[in-house]
Amino acid sequence: TQSDLVRPSQLTPQRVSILYSNLTEPSSQGGDTMEMEYGARFAQAAVAAGCAGGSRSTNAKRRVLLVQTNRLTGESKTIDRPVEALLKNPTDNGENPFLMPQDSLVCYDSTVTNVSGVLRIISNVFSPFFLIRDLFSND
């Protein structure tokens, strides 16, 4: 099995570099890099990247996408999973593969989180206008 092949040795790196993007806490460059232990899996990277956790009501529908590129053929493979399903069944090898160097991970927020973010932006834009209006109103 693949589990038998992915084990630390003198030839394997101790850590692998993973690219990730978490839209809840975006970086200035559009992506960050994290180091994971050799032999780590997709579910572990989802947790390390901050894709999991928070309020169940607002984050229950979060998704996480793993992009892996075959170094020999150049073909890319993607796995798109609900975060909660990935974490509840982390031993499924087909949907929770071992991480390889330069794999990419993308966290997608739930609809509730996205809508609340838009409302927060609108509120921040209009707050100064309401304050100025209140200052000059004749009550």
Whether 115 has a pLDDT exceeding 70, the answer reads no
Q: Give me 62's structure tokens.
A: 């979060």
* Helix residue ranges, H only, the chain: 2-5, 42-48, 56-59, 83-88, 111-136
User: If you average pLDDT over residues 107-130, what whole number do you get?
Assistant: 60
Q: What global pTM score does this model have? A: 0.68
Strand order, beta sheet including 76-82: 32-37, 15-22, 104-108, 63-69, 76-82
Give the pLDDT score at 1.
44
**Using the 8-state DSSP alphabet, how is residue 122 labeled?**
H
Mean pLDDT over each residue of the chain, to the nearest integer: 76
* pLDDT reported for residue 103: 93
Could you give the CA distance from residue 16 to residue 34 in angstroms, rounded to a whole number? 8
Q: How far apart are CA 43 and CA 59, in angstroms?
A: 16
pLDDT reading at 16 higher than 60: yes
pLDDT tens string 50-68: 888 776 555 567 899 999 9
